[in-house]
Structure 1
């Protein structure tokens, strides 16, 4: 499994004036930053932390599906 294969959704939060990244395949996995680059780097770290924590807790880690399709 490659942690960088999880889909990340990047958006601008007008209220807080930061970039936010959601990783929808990993419940509750989000990150933010003052720049797009910083937000993505923080999200990559958050994915690694999410996976490490799930392993320690004996939880199932979803396989990356790539692009998600919403109807």
Structure 2
């Protein structure tokens, strides 16, 4: 993996939004505005959605690559 890939991973909007929500949840927990149970639930949802959207995005990128390869092979014949 290259350094450019690592930088772009942490500069993505999904990553930034997920981290902002987690930081906000930590601040709310420290300020005793939410309870530990709500904090854990919020972090679980944020992580689940983040990872789920990443898997979905990678799946669509793979599918687009496969379809592009099929189109190239079909046009070459």
**Bigger relative contact order (CA 8 A; separation at least 6):** 1
As a proportion of its length, which structure holds more strand?
1
Q: Which has the higher helix share?
A: 2
Larger Rg: 2
The normalised TM-score by structure 2 is: 0.35
